[in-house]
Amino acid sequence: MTVSKAETLPNQVVTIEPLTAAAFASFGMVVAHASAARRHYFPEALEHSPEAAQASFWVSRVDAVTQLPLAVTMMERHPYTTQTFLPLRGGRYLAVVASSDQQGLPDLATARAFLVAGHQGLTYHRDVWHCGMTVLDAPSEFAVLMHKTGRDDDDVFLELPRPFSIEPPVVPDPGA
């Protein structure tokens, strides 16, 4: 599992923010109909390097509902392809992302957590560090699309040397 509840949360805290196409743009794209046209195309969802020629499409089930706050202990990336998640059943979920540093490792100073509505899909750009699917409301199912090379490095998983904490935004007390 990529995220876990911790007894003592780490020092770095990332506050969950609403998902918008503009805020998420450097990490990927939001898959939702955003115009008056009948169809809205997402060609970026199919982007991959030439060596990742094998399309892969599956349904992933996530039964564990995450409680907040939580500690992020592991991240993953896909160096050869984008990865798209389309919700089929469930509710809200998190997209936890980070840019790469100069060594290609997650730059935790850039870590962000987005609250994704149950009717929105996501495409992570190729090579973007992200957490595994983290559902908040109910067990969920997602259709997943990516390409593969057939090598062991299609999926790169990294246990973080220092976990960081994801927390909900602080809501002001209306009576204060």
**How much is the pTM?**
0.86
Q: Which residues contact 62 (CB under 8 A, 6 or more apart)?
A: 90, 133, 134, 135, 139, 140, 141, 142
CA proximity to 164, closest of 19, 23, 3, 1: 3
Residue ranges of domains in the chain: 3-32+46-164
Fold classified for 3-32+46-164:
Jelly Rolls (2.60.120)
Q: Which residues contact 78 (CB under 8 A, 6 or more apart)?
A: 124, 126, 127, 146, 154, 155, 156
The tens-digit pLDDT sequence of the chain (176 residues) is 444 444 444 588 999 999 999 999 999 999 887 777 777 677 687 778 788 888 889 999 999 999 999 999 999 999 999 999 999 999 999 999 999 999 999 999 999 999 999 999 999 999 999 999 999 999 999 999 999 988 888 899 999 988 999 998 876 656 65
Distances (CA, A) of 77 to 36, 65, 85, 176: 34, 22, 14, 43
